Amino acid sequence: MPINGLAQKVEFYTPRTVRIVKDNGAPAEKKSLVVTAQPEKVKVTREENDTAVIYRSAEMTVIVSRGKVTFADKRGNVLMREGDAGFTPIMRGPDKWSYKVKQAFSVEKDEAVYGLGFLQNGKMSQRGENRRMEQGNTEDYTHFYQSIKGYGIYWDNYSPTTFQSPEAGENGEITLESEVGNIIDYYFMFGGNADGVTAEMRHLSGHVPMLPLWTYGFHQSRERYSSQDELLDVVNKYREKGIPFDGIVQDWQYWGNSYLWNAMEFLADGYYNPQLMVDKIHERHAHLSISVWSSFGIGTKGYREMREKGHLLAFETFPPSGMPQWPPRDDYPSGARCYDPYSEEARDIYWRNLSRLHRLGIDGWWMDSTEPDFYNYKDSDLDFPTAMGSLRSVRNAYPLMTVEGVYNHQREMDSTKRVFIFTRSCFAGQQRTGANTWAQ
């Protein structure tokens, strides 16, 4: 439906979920990294008059008039109206001939909106927020929000995205603007309440698998255990004192020095028999989770395999120095680099290295730096290529790609054991891995 120079598509996925796609005259094929559902056969009526096209399902009404979409419930009560859409051409760099894409959505003065991920702002409602959403160490973003009016919006774009909202008490518009996109692509979900919206989002992007029973208990962790004897002593002490606990976490540096960063092997002094350590933990009816990262030190097998296949991303990352001092000594750079989880082959290599720990019987993965870490961050770092285009174009989906890679590989190797993952960052769709997100 070409309107005002934009081609527009309205597609019902369920009676309560509608996908809206707009392009600027150049249709683009897109396979979503987040949306796994296929459109259902939804009974929809279509009416047309001089000013509008009206679509009705059993649960909601969608009105397209003068290039803008209005969403209402089945009784005609308006839920949200679109504002202006925008396509700004990108004229240079790896995303040349793509666009910055923008869409505005109406919001009433007393309408609270929730979501966007884990924000360190001490607020429930995100009214009045104005921020550029890019994954970081202490804040995790997902391009989803829902309204107290019982609807939600998922914006299916993976580049850094700016969210702008008027303050509470003001009628106005929420604006989402992404730095790279060939199309505007979002899903409007009417659930009636928060649970209903969540159900629609899970139908769209994946349901949450059940966690292992032991993960609902107490987990013991510290920064960090430096030997297997120290770790086993803690396990034994809990059992001797009769204090219930179910899991213990081996944090970083069990691999040794920073040139061996994330070797996914017990190379540090003090870990003389990792298999014995894991077996003794299990004999005590406890479980072990272990820290793994998105970056590899230059002395690791993972680094060499990734480099040989061209699956290392070029930006600087943690640890910046191979020396143990802090602040880091830049005259001894570690050379560590993050891998490219947008590549299926790279995800295979990552699991092949991680499977050494899996074969020991380790029970869970503490996936650190899944946003991932940048060091000496520059905006130009986002121009580096990945297997799916510029890093900028897929930046915020990094945690989804790396976490889902581990989840899928473990399930393929052993479908009888439920997967348990802690992760420092998250994105829409990641709930289908059952991963638990923490924020520092």
In tens, the pLDDT along 361-405 reads 999 999 999 999 999 999 999 999 999 999 999 999 999 999 999
Class of domain 213-437: alpha beta
Q: Tokens representing 338?
A: 């993050």
Q: How confident is the model at residue 25 (pLDDT cuts 50, 70, 90)?
A: confident
pLDDT tens digits, residue range 253-298?
Answer: 999 999 999 999 999 999 999 999 999 999 999 999 999 999 999 9
Class of domain 2-205: mainly beta
> Span 53-75, mean pLDDT?
96
Number of helices followed by number of strands (H, E) in the chain: 7, 26
Contacts of 67 (CB under 8 A, 6+ apart): 3, 4, 6, 8, 85
* pLDDT score recorded for residue 26: 75
pLDDT > 60? residue 29:
yes
The residue behind tokens 């990641």 is 430
Ramachandran angles phi, psi of 42, nearest 5°: -100, 130
Regarding pTM above 0.75, the answer is yes
pLDDT tens digits, residue range 402-440?
Answer: 999 999 999 999 999 999 999 999 999 999 999 999 866
Q: Is 82 helix (H, G, I), strand (E, B) or coil?
A: strand
Q: How confident is the model at residue 2 (pLDDT cuts 50, 70, 90)?
A: low
- Euclidean distance between the first and final Cα of the chain, in Å? 46
* pLDDT score recorded for residue 280: 98
d(Cα 372, Cα 379) in Å, to the nearest integer? 15
pLDDT > 90 fraction of the chain, expressed in percent and rounded: 93
Helix (H) or strand (E) holding 237: helix 228-241
Strand order in the sheet with 68-73: 45-48, 53-56, 60-65, 68-73, 78-89, 99-107, 172-181, 161-164, 130-133
> Span 149-159, mean pLDDT?
99
Ramachandran angles phi, psi of 203, nearest 5°: -60, -40
d(Cα 32, Cα 18) in Å, to the nearest integer? 15
Domain edges within the chain: 2-205, 213-437
* pLDDT score recorded for residue 327: 84
Asked if 105 contacts 153 with a C-beta cutoff of 8 angstroms, the reply is yes
pLDDT > 60? residue 337:
yes
* pLDDT score recorded for residue 326: 79
* pLDDT score recorded for residue 391: 99
pLDDT tens digits, residue range 157-188?
Answer: 999 999 999 999 999 999 999 999 999 999 99
pLDDT > 70? residue 4:
no
> Span 6-33, mean pLDDT?
90
Q: How confident is the model at residue 5 (pLDDT cuts 50, 70, 90)?
A: low
Asked if 198 contacts 190 with a C-beta cutoff of 8 angstroms, the reply is no
What CA–CA distances, in Å, run from 40 to 18, 73, 153, 204?
A: 11, 19, 19, 11
